[in-house]
Structure 1
Amino acid sequence: MSSSMMIFAETADAMSGLAGFFSKGGPFIWPLLACSIVAVTTIILRTIALRERNVLPLVIESEIERLVPGASAERLARIAEQDDSALARIVRVALHHLRWPRSENVEFVQTRARYEMVRLEKGLIILEVITGIAPLLGLIGTVSGLVHVFARLGLSTGAADAKGIALGISEALNTTIFGLSIAVPSLIAFSYFSKKVEAMSVEMETLVTDLITKCYYGRIGRPDTTVRPTAAAHAPIA
């Protein structure tokens, strides 16, 4: 029972200290708090969205590698229709346009791939912006706090209270600490996700190129079916 009470007391003290941190941080602490919430939410959502099975499912990779050049891709088409990953959507586009000339199909697939890359990079710009503005907001908050500290010092009629000045400066520096504590994880997450998207894009490009090569393997160009006038058509009528 005593251990439970101690845990409860420690939790209450921690919550009280956290509330005091935000209440004494000045007006710029609240935009920083909003930045931290947005950053954490974005990191969680990007972690889920960029999981391997949501972008490059193993079953589709294996099926593309198993596909024999020139063979039917019906099994792969069925698998891709039942999947909603980025690779599956690109594969569906490639397979749905196999009747087109290869160059046109490749161009259409590239357009779809660029769209998928934009979807994968969604949210990374938010982390990049937060990485830039969080330290600046913290610095502005600190400068603002120092201005208030020295303003009170100038208005005081008695001797300067060294303890009060030190306390005011320490509270003013809270926003800088908070801003940096937001920016550093955001920068790490942004760099990690950017490299992961880049690696996935290269792997998708390799797989789709392999798929198109196998699907068009041994295919002869379509004969020219344009109807042209024959020599008899230009012969003079007797």
Structure 2
Amino acid sequence: MQSLLVAQMPTAVVNENYFDIIIKGGWILIPIAFLSLIAIFVIVDRYIVLHKAASEDERVIAQVKDYILNGKTDSALATCERSNQPIGMVVAEGIRSMDYSIEDIREAMEGKSREVLNMLETRMNILSLVASIAPMLGFLGTIMGVIKIFYTISLTDNLSIGSISDGLYQKMICSAAGLLVGIVAFIGYQLLNGRIDKIAAKMEKQGNDFIFFLKRGK
């Protein structure tokens, strides 16, 4: 009889799937799940935007320089605006300021560069917040669960390992879920920031090249 009970015990554990275990984490998993959806949306959205921004066609800048050498500033400006790329926006600002000094052109392009970078960094602060808040929410859920466990023990005076471990493992799910969402958000934040830094460096280099090109022409 005892051997039969022992044989049946693992079967009950195996039949409990991961979804059933996760559900036992409690209501705190709802905001954590919501944060995970926000993180995924921001990561995908920023990746698409940054991928387009990084795929700059260098032939556009070469064509712009050719137009300027031939005195076709309107065509050069139109080419930059059609490109709809970060460096195109910056160079377009420089072309609009060509009647002024080189320093004025540089300041105009630097101001536009900051504006473009702010646009690329849109929603990145949300991703940073998710990376910070999700683990804290998970830890809060675990702490609340532990408080409930000890409150129940104080009422029932039942200090059995089964009653403690059963409730504790359920609440540890909150911490695990929060950490998982936080890690995903943190990795996404770092990788996307790395791409933004590369775009900024490339934009600065091409902007300086354009300034040097104008200096030679003036």
In the other structure, the counterpart of 2:19 is: 18
Give the equivalent residue in structure 2 for 1:170.
169
Is 1:62 matched up with 2:63? no
Q: Percent identity?
A: 20
Contact 1:131–1:186 (8 Å) recurs in 2: yes
For structure 1, the residue ranges without an aligned partner over 5 or more in a row are: 1-12, 220-238
**Pairwise CA distance, 1:114:** 0.4
Instruction: Quote the offset at 1:57 in angstroms.
Output: 4.2
User: Partner of 1:131 in structure 2?
Assistant: 131
Counting only pairs closer than 5 Å after superposition, residues 92-111 of structure 1 correspond to structure 2 as 92-111=92-111
Aligned to 1:71: 69
Shift of 1:104: 0.9
Q: 1:32, 1:56 → 2: CA distance? A: 32
Aligned-pair CA distance for 1:212: 2.2
1:48 shift after superposition: 0.6
Structure 2 counterpart of 1:223:
none
- The residue number in structure 1 matching 2:37 is 37
Task: Report the RMSD for the aligned CA atoms in angstroms.
Answer: 2.4
Name the CA shift for 1:65/1:84 in 2 (closer, same or farther; >3 Å): closer
The aligned residue for residue 113 of structure 1 is: 113
Larger radius of gyration between Structure 1 and Structure 2 = 1
The CA deviation at 1:27 is: 3.2
Query: TM (normalized to structure 2)?
Result: 0.82
Q: Paired residues, what number?
A: 201
CA deviation profile, 1:124-155 (whole Å, cap 9, x unmatched): 11111111111111111101001111111221
**Is contact 1:130–1:183 with CA below 8 Å preserved after alignment?**
yes
SS at match of 2:83: coil
Q: Counterpart of 1:216 in structure 2: which amino acid? A: K
**AA matched with 2:176:** I
Contact 1:128 1:186 in 2 (8 A): yes
Distance 1:34 1:208 in 2: 41
What TM-score, normalized by structure 1, do the two folds share? 0.76
Pick the structure with more helix per residue: 2
Match of 2:196 in 1: 197
Question: What are structure 2's unaligned runs of at least 5 residues?
Answer: 1-14
1:193 and 1:56, CA in 2 relative to 1: closer, same or farther beyond 3 A? closer
My pick for the range that moved more, 67-76 or 194-203, is 67-76
